[in-house]
Amino acid sequence: MADAPVQDGLKDVKHIIAVASGKGGVGKSTTAVNLALALAADGSRVGIVDADIYGPSLPMMLGVADGTRPDVVDEKYFVPVEAHGIKSMSMGYLVTEQTPMVWRGPMASGALLQILTQTQWGELDYMVVDMPPGTGDIQLTLAQKAQLAGAVIVTTPQDIALLDARKAIEMFNKVSIPVLGIVENMAVHRCSQCGYEEHIFGEGGGQQVASECGADVLGSLPLSLEIREKTDAGTPPVIADSDSVTAQYYQKIATQIKAKLSEAASTGGPEIIIE
């Protein structure tokens, strides 16, 4: 029998979207941050949660000043930190950059539940959850305790990343959470000097996995210095220049996700089943 979802602070959140990957280093957090900002571009109320308890990166990517701590209400509830018009919460706001989280799985899962349910999110149209890589305790905890609207799988075209992406998709299938689609990062490198394009990590891998799993490729993004530099600097491309080609990639992904969630809402949401 499935565990009852723990909504608490999530009761006024319409759609919770998990951004996941089977392995690290594929640009999952970068995708999550830019996706959240793209979802908010039309005025939607958006929050983002850094569920990577061991390696939180959200504060840096949102350009939040070092040492920023969330306010606390009634000695129980966090007030989310706002940046670029979206609400955010991360373990990175609660510890220093030099503090390693030497925790076992249940402790990390408990911390995630506190961040999710003891934060005053208020009314949100979308909550993006930046998942840690893999298919472990935290992923299962989120599936059990939060009413996920769907998952976005991030991968690169290389074979080892695609192998792990399949595992991530299968995990969400087992708990009856719909996979909204696949985002393929680092799909092609374009030389800034001559314009020559080269598929450094392989070609067509994202589409192959999507076809095998009955999912859609939401977008293929280039291996781009701009994406890395601006996101690391706390001004992600979607914010830095909303008219840029890079920003439009993320806007198109966000538009497709909104359409899929709207369609799912009209037909009824998924039933969460833990096997």
Q: pLDDT tens for residues 3-37?
A: 444 556 788 999 999 999 877 888 899 999 999 99
Task: Give the SS3 label for residue 272.
Answer: coil
Q: For the domain bounded by 8-265, which CATH number is listed? A: 3.40.50.300
pTM for this entry: 0.86
- Is pLDDT larger for residue 159 or for residue 246? 246
With bands split at pLDDT 50, 70 and 90, how would you rate the model's confidence at 44? very high
Dist. CA 136–CA 142, nearest whole Å: 10
Q: Which helix (H) or strand (E) holds 138?
A: helix 137-145
Q: Is 163 exposed, middle or buried (0-12, 13-18, 19+ CB in 10 A)?
A: middle
Domain ranges of the chain: 8-265
What pLDDT, on a 0 to 100 scale, did the predictor assign at position 147?
87
Which two structure tokens, joined as six digits, stand for 233?
A: 């600097």
Q: pLDDT tens for residues 50-107?
A: 988 777 889 999 999 988 999 999 888 999 999 999 999 998 888 766 565 555 556 7
DSSP string, 57-95: -HHHHTTPPTT----EETTTEEPPEEETTEEEEEGGGTS
Which two structure tokens, joined as six digits, stand for 5?
A: 């979802």
Q: Which residues fall within 8 angstroms of residue 75, CB to CB, at 6 or more apart?
A: none
Q: pLDDT tens for residues 144-153?
A: 778 899 999 9
Dist. CA 201–CA 89, nearest whole Å: 33
